[in-house]
Every structure is written in structure tokens, then in C-alpha cells.
Amino acid sequence: DLHVSGTSVVQVTATDADDPSYGNSARVIYSILQGQPYFSVEPETGIIRTALPNMNRENREQYQVVIQAKDMGGQMGGLSGTTTVNITLTDVNDNPPRFPQSTIHLRIPESSPVGTAIGSVKATDADTGKNAEVEYRIIDGDGTDMFDIVTQKDTQEGIITVRKPLDYETRRLYTLKVEAENTHVDPRFYYLGPFKDTAIVKISVEDVDEPPVFSRSSYLFEVHEDIELGTIIGTVMARDPDSASSPIRFSLDRHTDLDRIFNIHSGNGSIYTSKPLDREISQWHNLSVIAAEINNPKDTTRVPVYVRILDVNDNAPQFAVFYDTFVCENARAGQLIQTISAVDKDDPLGGQKFFFSLAAVNPNFTVQDNEDNTARILTRRNGFSRHEISTYLLPVVISDNDYPIQSSTGTLTIRVCACDSRGNMQSCSAEALLLPAGLSTGALVAILLCIIILLVIVVLFAALKRQRKKEPLILSKEDIRDNIVSYNDEGGGEEDTQAFDIGTLRNPAAIEDKKLRRDIIPETLFVPRRTPSAPDNTDVRDFINQRLKEHDTDPSAPPYDSLATYAYEGNDSIAESLSSLESGTTEGDQNYDYLREWGPRFNKLAEMYGGGESDKDIS
């Protein structure tokens, strides 16, 4: 912007190649062909100047000026050239901000939280750049403490925000006077007037159905733990802030009172106890009370309620710990054997104070109160014998000094022990008196180990005996596969009629079916093949050969390739074998007359095989 005419803008210069010393052929004269009446040019110097005062950028910003340069001093016949000059007017802060309206109306619900943007105001400025920068402020009105205004730099707007909570029932209309002022003012243009403007902003608060409002942000109630059930401990108050003033209903959030110790009157908000209180279990109860409009139950408000339980002396003091007390047999009268202390669940204002005494006079021990919540247990006589009495029971009465006084009786168990000369306990067992005086602990351990070893040996011996009973009756290396019994004692002679009857071999049909082996424990059971019985007159040799063939062809029998030896009597017998099988292998007759020389026990065999009788007669 230019406010004075004749201001130099720019100088143009034209050159001529003619000889300047030859007449006027190189003398150049400048003139303006385009750009009047805004600009002019000096003919001799080519300086372009403004021709009009108060040129305003806001009206026209761009100008195009055409300048002509002509030699021969500008006379007729001279040569000329032209140039175009583009001139732009730069901005200066010569325009103040202006509100397009003198009064601005805005609306906002009363429930809008603090910091909510209500609306914006904007003052226009014809200038550009920093000359158009504006700052907004609230300079007057009845809502200066309720609202703020913030300048938005990128849009050059003033944003009005809520500063404090609104209440439709308290005030419904606020009036603000807002000012917009340039931040960069040019002193040269002060004469143009103040570079600021003002507007009236009216803000209307709209009614909203609000939730109930409590009289306090939180409540604290104190109550003694011994109050009766149903006692009111305090009352919360809430109201409907709306103009309709709907009735309020109160309730407790049961998540904050899981044990349902408290309850509340829904109509007046009085909180009362529904279960006994106990400070020793819980000293604080943090409740949450809910207030809701009866006409709109979904619109609720919560408030914290802190209940502090005050102490009442309702617990008796007790021993602090379990005391393992002993007295030495060689103790003397007045000797300290134990220091005791007590604890109390109550918490009186003046602190804990305990008194110790005996429930009854005791001839053996006494209690001495130290007056610092501890006491000493002392002996009243010399010498104790654990052989006579190994344990003493000492009742001690502990009482406090609060009102009402509480007391309890704790019983100390005092063992009588053997101690060394320094009073160190060695043994408290009465049975230890029965042990030899010179028997040490290591000897006792050795005796115990010996007893254990002997027990183990006895158990192993019994197990071996049981295992032997399960072994086969015949211990020969040769396995006997027939019903042959091994006798380990001498026969009974002629009078022994209970001996084995050889008639069984003569009558195989008399053998029981599926009769198990008696000499070994059977491992598998199988069904033997049935073979036709031999006739009754078959002799023993034919019978045994038949059974041998039967076992050789039996697939379930063990694959023995040799004939088993039956009734093997060992190597130490002075008598030769009596087996009829062996006698059958000889070609000639056997002489059994030597049987009569063996005594009366072999007379029966001598009659059967001796006397010149043949084997055929035996069969």
C-alpha cells in the first residue's frame, strides 16, 4: 500500500549502440505508454514513480506498466524500444479487524463438561499475513468466570469453551463482550484508528434431565463395634437438580458390601446395620451408595461412603506365643524359668496394659509382673524330681486395664528335666531314669541296630522255609513221569498194610482220571490222550512199556529220549537194587534168597520173589 504520490518504484535503463558523440543519435528519452494515471516515469532517468496518492492494495494489487525508450532526444525520426514492468503492491497493516455481526448467539446443554467448545467467533481483516493476525479475549460480561476464549491460529477464530459446570436451574443466559485486536500494528497508521473491534456474545444454557446430586462428594461415618442391629450409622442426602425435582430412591451397591452387613432406607438415605460389627475382623467398610430418580431410574449417581468401626474392649488378652517351659531338677527357689508376654486384639486409645497373676496360690511356682506387659515365672522351692512328677500345670490369669476389664486364664505346661551344672537341659523323659547309668546314646543305637538285623534274619529264614516247601518231592536229576512215590523212611514190614499196593500197576483202570503229579507243582494243565486199558493179566513190564510208548507219542509231553529211572534210592545203600525193571533186563533168573537174611521187615518180599518162584508167578 502507498499513501504518498511520487514514491519511487523502480528505474529502467535503455542502451543505444550509436556513438553518443555524434549528435543526438544516442540520446535516449523515456515515456510511459501504459500504466497511467497510477504511475509516471522521468524522461531523462527512467525512474518510475507513483502518480496517485493512497494507492490501496485491497482495491488493486497488480499493475502492468509499459515504458518506451526513444533516441534522437525523442524527436521525430528517432528509433524506440519498449519494456513491460509488472508492479505488485505489498500489504501493510492499514486495516483493523472487524466482526461481521455486533451480536452473536450460541447455545449449550447444561450437562456439557468443562472444556467443551461452545462455538467460535471470527473478525475479518482485509490485510494478509501477519498484518491480519488477530487475538481474541473476553473483556466484559456476566460470564467471564464461566467461559474462556482461545485463538485458533490457523483459522484466526476465537473458540469459546466452558470453564465451570453449567446449571440450567441456576442461570440460563450469559452475556460476553469479546474483543478482537491485531497483534502486529504499524505505528505509521495509528491515525487510522484503533486496530481492534468488539462484539456481544450471548450464550443460552439448555435444560437437560440431570442425575441426582449428593450433598457431599463423599461421606465418613464412625460407629462403635458393639452397636445393636438396626442402628442408623448415618444418612446420605441427594436431590434432583432439574426444575421438576423428581423424588430420589437410594440403594447400596452390593459389590461393595458382599457380606450384607449394612442396609439403606430407599426413601431417606439412612444407612443402618443388618449384621453385628467386629473391628477385629474389618476396621473399615467402603460402601457405594446409588441415587436414582424415581421417574428416570436409569439416570443414577454414586457417592463413596466410608464407615470406620471404633474399638470396644471385647477381647481378653492371651499368651503371645506357645511357651515350652521346663524346670531343672536341681533348680533353686527364686530361679527364673520363663518370661511370658501377652497380646490383645483390641486397640485402646491409651495403649495396651496387661496384668499377670496366678489363678491360685501354687507351692511350686510364682508369677512376678514386670509392669511392662511381661511377667517372670519363678520357682518357689528347691529341687524337683521328674520320677515323682514329670509335668506341672500352672494357670496364669492375664487381664487388661480397659473398660470393661477383660481377662483370660492361660495354662503353662512346665516339664521337669535333667540339667547340667549350667542349667542346660539334657533330658526331660521320665523313662530315661530306668536306663543303666553308664549306657550312652551310641550304645543304645547299636543295640537297636542289632535287634533290627536279627528280625531281618528271622524273616529271611521263614521265607526260605516256605520256598523249600514248594520244591518237588523228588530231588533227583532224572524227572519221574509216572505215579511213583519216593519214600524217605523205612517200611513197616509185614504188618504194614498201608504201604503202596503194587496191584495198582496191575490194574491201570483203577488210576483216577486226570490225576495230577504229586512230586512237582504242575506248570501247565493239558488233557492227556486216552489209551485203551491193558487187560488185567498184563504184567508190570508190559504195562510200563505201554505207558512209555504213550508218553513218547504224546505231543504235549516233554521230549525225553531216554527211559527214566524210577525209585532211585541213592549211592549210599548197602543193598543192591530191588527194581523189577532191572531184573527184567537180565536173561536168567534172579536169586532172591538173600532177602531172608535182611531181617523180618523183608520177609514179605522174600516170599514174593524167593523160594524158587519165577517172575511169571509174581505177575
- Amino acid in the structure at residue 103: T
Let me know: does 305 contact 261? Beta carbons within 8 Å: no
Using the Cα atoms of residue 350, residue 352, residue 353 and residue 355 in order, give the sign of their dihedral: positive
Nearest one of 201, 209, 160 to 177, comparing CA atoms: 201
What is the C-alpha to C-alpha distance for residues 563 and 548, in angstroms, rounded to an integer? 8
- Amino acid in the structure at residue 29: I
Q: What does the pLDDT read at residue 252?
A: 96
What is the C-alpha to C-alpha distance for residues 123 and 96, in angstroms, rounded to an integer? 9
Q: Residue 394: CB partners within 8 Å, gap ≥ 6?
A: 358, 362, 365, 377, 411, 412, 414
- Amino acid in the structure at residue 37: P
What is the C-alpha to C-alpha distance for residues 180 and 98, in angstroms, rounded to an integer? 8
Q: What does the pLDDT read at residue 175?
A: 94
Nearest one of 183, 209, 207, 204 to 119, comparing CA atoms: 204
What is the C-alpha to C-alpha distance for residues 540 and 557, in angstroms, rounded to an integer? 22
pLDDT (tens digit per residue) in 388-420: 899 999 999 999 988 888 899 999 999 999 998
Let me know: does 356 contact 396? Beta carbons within 8 Å: yes
Residue whose C-alpha cell reads 507243582 in the numeric block: 521
- Assigned CATH for 7-88: 2.60.40.60
Extract the C-alpha cell encoding 211: 442425575
| SS3 at position 122 | coil
pLDDT (tens digit per residue) in 29-79: 888 888 888 888 888 888 888 888 777 777 787 888 898 888 877 777 678
Position with higher pLDDT, 420 vs 93: 420
Let me know: does 377 contact 325? Beta carbons within 8 Å: yes
What is the C-alpha to C-alpha distance for residues 401 and 355, in angstroms, rounded to an integer? 8
Q: What does the pLDDT read at residue 199?
A: 95
Return the CA Rg of the chain: 67
Q: What does the pLDDT read at residue 26?
A: 77
| Out of 360-364, 424-428, 431-435, least confident range | 431-435
pLDDT band at 618 (very low <50, low <70, confident <90, very high): very low
| SS3 at position 468 | helix
User: What is the CATH T-level fold of the domain 318-427, as seen in this structure?
Assistant: Immunoglobulin-like (2.60.40)
- Assigned CATH for 103-206: 2.60.40.60
Mean pLDDT within 266-283 = 93
**Cα angle 62, 66, 72; round to 5:** 160
pLDDT band at 484 (very low <50, low <70, confident <90, very high): low
Let me know: does 70 contact 28? Beta carbons within 8 Å: yes
**378 has a pLDDT exceeding 60:** yes
What is the C-alpha to C-alpha distance for residues 531 and 542, in angstroms, rounded to an integer? 14
Mean pLDDT within 515-526 = 48
Q: Is 74 left (phi over 0), alpha (psi -120 to 50) or beta?
A: left
Residue whose C-alpha cell reads 507513483 in the numeric block: 50
pLDDT (tens digit per residue) in 294-345: 888 888 999 999 999 999 988 899 999 999 999 999 899 999 999 999 999 8
Q: Which backbone phi and psi does 602 adopt, to 5 degrees?
A: -105, 15
7-88 shares its CATH topology with 213-310? yes
Let me know: does 95 contact 129? Beta carbons within 8 Å: no
At the second CATH level, the architecture of 213-310 is: Sandwich (2.60)
Q: Residue 305: CB partners within 8 Å, gap ≥ 6?
A: 218, 219, 220, 221, 234, 236, 271, 286, 287, 288, 289
Let me know: does 250 contact 290? Beta carbons within 8 Å: yes
Length of the chain: 619
Strands 103-109 and 196-206: parallel
CA-CA distances (angstroms) from residue 432 to 176, 220, 425, 500? Answer: 103, 66, 14, 67
pLDDT (tens digit per residue) in 141-196: 998 999 999 999 889 999 999 999 998 888 999 999 999 998 888 787 777 778 88
Nearest one of 139, 141, 176 to 160, comparing CA atoms: 176
pLDDT band at 138 (very low <50, low <70, confident <90, very high): very high
**116 has a pLDDT exceeding 90:** yes
Q: What does the pLDDT read at residue 349?
A: 78
Mean pLDDT within 364-378 = 93
Q: Residue 487: CB partners within 8 Å, gap ≥ 6?
A: none
- Omega of the bond prior to 37 within 30 degrees of 0, cis? yes
Q: What does the pLDDT read at residue 469?
A: 63
**616 has a pLDDT exceeding 50:** no
Q: What is the average pLDDT value for the chain, to the nearest integer?
A: 80
Spell out the domain ranges in the chain: 7-88, 103-206, 213-310, 318-427
- Amino acid in the structure at residue 326: F
Extract the C-alpha cell encoding 120: 467460535
